[in-house]
Structure 1
Amino acid sequence: MALRVHQFPCLSDNYGFLIQDEATGQAATIDTPDAGAILAELDKTGWTLSLILNTHWHPDHAGGNAEIQAATGAKIIGPAEVRKIAPLDQAVVEGDVVELGETRFSVLEVGGHTLGHIAFYDAEDSIAFVGDTLFALGCGRMFEGQPDQMWASLQRLASLPEATTVYCAHEYTAANARFALSVDDDPAVAARAQEIFALRAEGRPTVPTTIGLERRTNPFLRAPLLAPKMGTRLGADHEAFAAVRAAKDSFKG
């Protein structure tokens, strides 16, 4: 089994992902941030879209559902919350499996950014599409959830094998790196930040990342180690995470 991933920038800082199961040729889009851009990329690839897989309900992730479905007839699968703003044919939850040809995606509940946020994990190919829960050197803001929920979601993703390739939905990494440098003096973080700045100076993407790299350098996954250095009394791990998240929310660098 093998899964092809076609990544492309869209909107101001989103990434679009078209994926294809090599065995059958069936294709899907992960989220629908920009219907026009996605349909144009479909034309370039020559792929026929079977599925739309939504991670959460925000307009830059589900806003193109209706237009893309009208153009392709693709079935829309995602969390029930998508129905707030867009069509959804099948709601899925933790433990469900979504099949794209011979590729099987486990649905992981990773709420916090939104309450019903999910990720799609292809264990055989070691690939995870995580929406706005985990970013390269960052994590999503808690628009709906609480720190304990978001921390549990991040730990759910961090528990995946280190070699797992992680496709996150935004190019926020340079800003995340500047924040990471402000709270973490680990040499691995400094080295990664320099690599990120060099990539962005050349206009190259910093996505995908890996679970192992995020475990070693992401300040939100390292929060229990960092919070005491930031002057926060060490409590439960989710409280340490909340302190780091609050610092990022107010960071001006």
Structure 2
Amino acid sequence: MTESDIQIGLEPEEPRGIAAIPSVQIYLLLFLLIGYPLLSVVMSLVNNPDTAKVTSRIGQIYLPSLLIQIIILTLVILVLRRTATPLAAIGLSKEDVNWANLVAALIFLAGAWTMILILRSAIMRSGYIPEKDFLFLLPRTLPEKGFWLALSIGAALSEEIAFRGYIITRLRILTGRYWMGALVSSLAFSVGHLYQGLAGVILTFVYGLLFAGLFVARKSIVPGIIAHFLQDALVLFTLAQM
């Protein structure tokens, strides 16, 4: 048993396998891995947003998305509290809020963006994988930009806590391996971005793997939360230059 295992919730001599995890945590794990992706697929098919149908980004897109983020975050926190599992068990503690993790987040963001841009360019040049135009979903007005910042915070907290912190640590207990959690969580995470098309799903899967690697390397989700927020929030500065 290594020190890193202890830091993110695995105590010495703690049993592994399904018996080592409370049933309510298993239910939440199944929801995040199966229920959430299926819900995203259904919503994408039934309520596929396009320029003609979107009359209010805030009402039709931002608020529903923020509500889903709040629900996911609330579910994770409630389940952890019900099972007396501290947030430190999923890599979130006040000691993790430090300069080292901030620097790690900035370095990671620069490297991840570079890798994703290269991959996206290769996908687009191939011409085999279609990409949906979702730029019309981005904010334009001041109120929309305010909601976008709220969405950036919500996505950073809910997605990193659920898909990196919770899923990876629970699957680590179940399987004894980090890579299994990294792969499965990234797959579930990417399906949730089906509205971006197949190219978007592939890019999001790779991004998920990168964030999972950051979590495992730092034994904390704080760098991921910072990088995730900056990634989404920087869209506002990109739009300002357009």
TM-score (norm 1): 0.29
**Greater fraction helix:** 2
TM-score (norm 2): 0.30
Higher relative contact order (CA 8 A, sep 6+): 2
**Greater fraction strand:** 1
